[in-house]
Amino acid sequence: MRSRPIALLAAAALAAVPPATAAASAPHPGFPADLVLRGHADHRRPIPNEVQVVRWTVRDLGTRPVSEVTLNATVPETWRLRDGAGCILRERGHLTCTLGALTRHQTRSVRFELAVPRHPRLGVEHYRARTRFTVDGTDYDGPSAHMQVEVVRHR
């Protein structure tokens, strides 16, 4: 079943499909900090039995340092976490990653590998992330972002 025009492209063109990306920032008049969240995944069109590498990056663009930065990520529930340095699998499909403190203009990233199952659900899947941080002892919700990928049988 081919429901998207991109499936009709030549194989060479499909191999050149760029990776999935996402970006969000949280400049807000009430925020004491200005954080940017960016996401990157190896493939927009993952296939069965493939390892998908996902990276979320948080950068402090504000004038004040932030502390206790955490990133909560959501991934497809049936996909297995292979490597998630600095991240804890809280429950199926939900990761909590501790980034610690960020000084002005500092960047921190988390990278994890997801194993796509042998028989995944084909179609659209999402990777989501949201951040929290502390400034002067007060907790704030930071930026959130998501990436959309389409699981296909072959690329």
Q: How far apart are CA 125 and CA 20, in angstroms?
A: 12
**Is 27 within the bounds of a domain?**
yes
104 lies in which domain range? 19-151
Tally of domains within the chain: 1
**Is 52 within the bounds of a domain?**
yes
**Is 12 within the bounds of a domain?**
no
Q: How far apart are CA 28 and CA 48, in angstroms?
A: 41
> Where residue 67 sits, what CATH number does that domain have?
2.60.40.10
Which comes out higher in pLDDT, residue 14 or 119? 119
Per-residue pLDDT of 69-106, as tens digits, reads 999 999 999 999 887 777 888 888 899 999 999 998 99
Secondary structure (3-state) at 49: coil
pLDDT > 50? residue 124: yes
Chain position carrying tokens 């993952």:
46
pLDDT at 12: 28
**Is 89 within the bounds of a domain?**
yes
